[in-house]
């Protein structure tokens, strides 16, 4: 597990809420605290007729009855836009299964995609700072922490690609 203290808060929030860089991540949960706390549990309800026409046209079906950040981002953005910033945002995002397979293949790790529960980004914004934690969860025991290191390094490269400065903590 690696943690990053985000120096470029404005750039990070812009990438998260207005950009598309995080759109392929699966939403596990999001909590936004303004005058009250709004919670998104990440479950997808396809029977809801108000599902985004854009998502339906694209044929987007979330993995495991979960939503992508692309599908949830507009609602989260609408909760926090305005003059007063939110008190707190907590989000847990998971790398898609397809991208997890790519990470395992590129790293040459002796793990199958079925061995990996998820590669996660935990985002915590509390008005004063943003902390991003890259973590992994496995279905099998391994004393080796290589996947943690690989995922943390890829997270740092991802932030650098977005021109978001950070400190490792």
Predicted structure pTM score: 0.89
pLDDT of residue 50: 56
Distance CA 45, CA 40 (A): 12
Q: What's the rounded mean pLDDT across residues 134-163? A: 94
pLDDT of residue 45: 79
Q: What's the rounded mean pLDDT across residues 33-42? A: 95
pLDDT of residue 53: 46
Looking at per-residue pLDDT, the higher value among 112 and 94 belongs to: 94
| pLDDT over 70 (residue 132) | yes
């Amino acid at each position: 597990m690696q943690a990053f203290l985000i120096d470029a808060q404005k750039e990070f929030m812009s990438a998260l809420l207005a950009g598309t860089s995080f759109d392929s991540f699966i939403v596990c949960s999001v909590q936004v605290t303004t005058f009250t706390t709004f919670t998104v549990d990440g479950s997808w309800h396809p029977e809801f007729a108000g599902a985004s026409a854009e998502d339906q046209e694209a044929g987007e079906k979330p993995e495991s009855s979960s939503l992508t950040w692309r599908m949830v981002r507009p609602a989260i953005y609408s909760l926090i836009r305005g003059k007063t910033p939110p008190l707190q945002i907590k989000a847990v995002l998971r790398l898609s299964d397809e991208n997890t397979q790519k990470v395992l293949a590129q790293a040459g790790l002796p793990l199958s995609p079925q061995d990996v529960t998820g590669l996660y980004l935990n985002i915590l914004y509390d008005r004063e700072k943003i902390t991003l934690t890259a973590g992994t969860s496995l279905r099998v025991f391994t004393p080796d922490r290589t996947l943690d290191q690989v995922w943390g390094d890829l997270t740092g490269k991802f932030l650098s690609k977005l021109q978001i400065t950070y400190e490792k903590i």
